[in-house]
Amino acid sequence: MIETAQVMVVTPHPDDAEFGAAGTVARWVREGKSIVYVVCSSGDKGTSDRNMNPEELARIREQEQLAAAKVLGVKDVVFLHYTDQALEDTPEFRKDIVRQIRRYQPEIIVAADPYRRYLWHRDHRIAGQVTLDAVFPYARDHLAYPDLLEEGLEPHRVREVWLWATEDPNHRSDITDTFDIKLAALRCHKSQVGDFPGLEQWLRRRARDMAKGENFELAEAFHRVEIWW
């Protein structure tokens, strides 16, 4: 039996989705939507601590991601275990994303916008691009990855993609009522934000900026793509 989710969040590393989309995720959970996270890399290079080894860091960050998912009410977290700072646009990586799309059959996919023009974490650029490619055409077409059909994973049409960290926002999601949950989820990533003074103020100011021109106070901004075919 295939267990579906209405929303799939593809995050390059633990914590990116919390920065980009956790307020929206929390709102969807309140509305009764089921959410799955797909975590591409476990972030094994994300430290300035010279005494930390990559395996231990990955283990810690996976626990932090699971804790954040619990705070948000995310029902499932899939770790793909790619090496941090080593994501590449390969058929294998694309197929791993396609497999999860076909498995969970989400209506909405949330990912990092790959199209920031200048400095952008390479893993975020690659993960965003590979996710868009996986949505269309690879998840949709039965002749793409025919072996997935043999695994019982039928083609699936995603209806919308929401991209966070975009330079070209066309949708602002109201997170005024779920900002505190976003903050609590973000604080679960202790190895990343533990010594970040003024996290709440910084996050609130950013959310307020994203809500400019809207009739609500706090927002997350996305480039939202609706898929009609």
19 or 138, CB closer to Zn ion?
19
- The Cα 102–Cα 100 span in angstroms is 5
The b-or-e profile of 2-40 (16+ CB within 10 A means b, else e) is eeebbbbbbbbbbbbbbbbbbbbbbbbbeeebbbbbbbb
- The Cα 165–Cα 58 span in angstroms is 24
14 or 155, CB closer to Zn ion?
14
13 in contact with Zn ion (CB under 5 A): yes
Residue 222's H or E segment, with its range, is: strand 219-226
Question: How far apart are CB 191 and Zn ion at their closest, in Å?
Answer: 13
Binder among 16, 96, 113, 174 for Zn ion (CB under 5 A):
16
2 with 149: CB under 8 angstroms? no
46 or 106, CB closer to Zn ion?
46
- The count of residues interacting with Zn ion (CB under 5 A) is 3
Return the closest-CA partner of residue 8 out of 107, 90, 151: 107
Residue 171's H or E segment, with its range, is: strand 171-174
13 or 187, CB closer to Zn ion?
13
- The Cα 97–Cα 145 span in angstroms is 12
Q: Burial of 58 by CB count in 10 Å (0-12 exposed, 13-18 middle, 19+ buried)?
A: buried
Question: How far apart are CB 153 and Zn ion at their closest, in Å?
Answer: 27
Which residue stretch of 10-18, 64-72, 100-108, 138-146 sits at the interface with Zn ion (rule: CB under 5 A)?
10-18
Torsion (CA) 46, 54, 87, 207 in degrees, nearest 10 = -20
Which residue stretch of 13-21, 22-30, 100-108, 134-142 sits at the interface with Zn ion (rule: CB under 5 A)?
13-21
Closest residue to bound Zn ion by CB: 13
12 or 114, CB closer to Zn ion?
12
Binder among 7, 8, 10, 12 for Zn ion (CB under 5 A):
12
Restricted to residues 89-118, the positions that interact with Zn ion (CB under 5 A) are: none
Which residue stretch of 7-15, 18-26, 136-144, 173-181 sits at the interface with Zn ion (rule: CB under 5 A)?
7-15
Which residue stretch of 9-17, 62-70, 177-185, 211-219 sits at the interface with Zn ion (rule: CB under 5 A)?
9-17
12 or 155, CB closer to Zn ion?
12
Return the closest-CA partner of residue 26 out of 207, 165, 215: 207
Residues that bind Zn ion (CB under 5 A): 12-13, 16
